[in-house]
Amino acid sequence: MFLRFSWGILLTTLLFTACSKKEIKTPAVPEGLWTGKYTVQQAPQSGARPLYLVLKPGGSLLVEAVADNGALQLGPGTWQRSAEVLTLSYILTGPSGNAIAHEATVTLSGNVLSAGSWRQTGGTGLSGGFSDLTRVP
Read off the pLDDT of residues 33-68 as tens digits, 9 standing for 90 and up.
Answer: 999 999 999 999 999 999 999 999 999 999 999 988
CATH number reported for the structural domain that contains residue 40 in this entry: 2.40.128.30
Q: Within a domain: residue 50?
A: yes
Q: Within a domain: residue 77?
A: yes
The span from the CA of 70 to the CA of 92, in Å, is: 15
Q: Within a domain: residue 84?
A: yes
Q: Cα–Cα–Cα angle for 53, 58, 59, nearest 5°? A: 45
The span from the CA of 40 to the CA of 43, in Å, is: 5
Nearest to 36 by CA among 113, 120, 118, 96: 113
Give the pLDDT of residue 28. Answer: 66
Q: Within a domain: residue 102?
A: yes
The tally of domains found in the chain comes to 1
Q: Within a domain: residue 19?
A: no
Question: Structure pTM?
Answer: 0.76
Instruction: Write out pLDDT tens, residues 73-85.
Output: 999 999 999 988 9
pLDDT band at 8 (very low <50, low <70, confident <90, very high): very low
Domain that holds residue 118: 32-135
Instruction: Write out pLDDT tens, residues 81-116.
Output: 998 899 999 999 977 888 999 999 999 887 788 889
Q: Within a domain: residue 129?
A: yes
The span from the CA of 111 to the CA of 114, in Å, is: 10
Give the pLDDT of residue 103. Answer: 97
- 103 within 8 A of 121, measured Cβ to Cβ: yes
